[in-house]
Structure 1
Amino acid sequence: MRTTVPEVPVRDLYSISEVAEAFGLTVATLRFYEERGLVQHSERRARVRHYRRADLARLAYAQLWHEDGLLTLAETSAIVDSDRLGDRLGLIATQREALRARMGRMERAVRVLTHMLDCRTDRALECPMTGAYVRGRVDAALDGTPEPTGFWPEGHGSHAGHAAHTGHAGHTGHTGHAGGSEAVLGATAPAQAPAPAQAQAPAPRSIGDERLLALTRDLLSESAKAREWACGTICDWARSFDRREVRTLASLLASTAALEQDADCVESELNALGELATTGLVEAADLAALRRLPRESVRPGDVGQLDDLMEQYF
């Protein structure tokens, strides 16, 4: 025997408290929405506002913009009351760009906080990444240079993730690849001989955050070959770095040299520091970690490079 499921009658009228609860609002908020014209009650019963189901479409439409689209109430009212496509599109485009900018700031905040959770230095400013980033902000504030846009080595865009960095003790926790920086930097090298100097616009003095990140990851790699490759790349590109990039790399090189166990890598790191020093952009604070490099761990042929740096900056 076929059973018939009785139809549940659909109500058409709801009190203000029922509507507020159903839409996740307070009664006071719903009244405020009415004052702003975002919803209108249908009738009053015993002095209580009631709303018809059809009238609540306007409220749901307002929530779409205010809660999901994160528009202000004033912007939401403007959209809900407007039938002009051009006005609506203008407001939407403005809000979308503002949200993208906010998302960028939030992603940057996550990178900073994640790095701080992973960093194992007792004093945060002794961390080469944090120290370089902070000095970049000081330079930007006082000298009008560009403010740092990334935070290393936690990542920039999709080029690095949480697994790339787990601390600063030696090279533990860093996964590198031989020639990684060369692959990134070399991809932009000109394939043909450059045109005469008078026909060329001057190249910008910066390699950009993505390439800088590739270098820092290789300098922190467990692979000695990757570290040497990065040092060679820094020597080749020394005149292409801007001030922030020079100071970031110098600080990191000084720290890695002080912890370095491979004599060939020590030589490469000191050579790279020497090349960066020729730019005139390195400061003594960037090389502070170099004081912890034991002289006895430096090969006799490399002691001169170390002495030159120490004499120049300390």
Structure 2
Amino acid sequence: MGDSILDTGNNNYIVTMSKFNFPPYGKNFPGKIPTGRPSDGRLISDFVVEILGIKYLLPSYLDPNLGVEDLVTGVCFASAGSGYDRETPKILVTTFYLYFLLFVSGALPVPYQLKLFKQYVKKLRTLVGEQRSDDIIKNSLYVISLGNNDVGLTYFLRKKKSDMASYSSFLVSQASATLRQLYGLGVRNIVHLSTIVTGCVPASRTLFGGVRRQCNDESNELAMMYNKKLSNEIERLNNDVRLPNSSIVFVDVYYPLFNMIRYPENYGFAITKKACCGTGTVEFGILCNPLAPTCTNISKYIFWDGVHPTEKTYKIIFSKIGKSVDKLLRKQL
């Protein structure tokens, strides 16, 4: 479940402006194929199944070509543009800034992602039987990334109705309810990612960072507040006697990315304020298209487009997640 950090192509099959199934997306993907992943290559979702020795790529659940083996070994329910706030997936924003248009629209809301998961469980039971399907659900690892679009965009559209403290608490309450629902469906092992540094993505710098394109401190402050509250709530859930045998791990990806932005040379990067696609200031989705030029050396860029990191960045971030995956697996043993 999640947003564009994890979506391996579900948005290809829904009506949305948040699509990434055209060049130059996938420029570093095997075969240079644009699969709907919002990056130049693979995502964290793919690295998780690879490190577990399951498969090289995690398919999207809505892919009509899914086979039995795909369902048995894992699929992705995430949708780029989604969030814990039910208003987030509905947003259609048109922001005029330096002659660019920024669109976010039509993602699968969390309740619908849960509905798809329930549908998946039924399919799995039909394919492999109730006992085996229950074992698969119970022993599988689930990675969640939600909150990025809420704190990076939705809050700024509704902040007159909500302050940071109340909005971050609202998001965490939604997260807690979602985690409990997953537990009720048999899920036991979850890794929940923090938000990234939402105020430092190129589009946020362009739209909210002034002429010097500084990080949007307000967005980062909200992200940190949400991340801290979410971490505390996950700790509380792990100690809840009503959720026996559950293992929920909070993984901070905010500071690993922030450190890359602050000290890019330590990670082999050189460009932090601009993305590889187009002007590097705001383009993503339909604005990062076959007509948009791309940088000549992607490895020097932290961001692929105005919102999303490059595959190289994700690989570095994943080293943190990999430790959490190992932690969960050891606990199971």
The two structures have a TM-score, normalised by structure 1, of 0.30
* Larger Rg computed on CA atoms: 1
Structure of higher RCO (CA pairs closer than 8 Å, 6+ residues apart): 2
Give the structure-2-normalised TM-score.
0.29
Q: Report which of the two has the higher share of helix.
A: 1
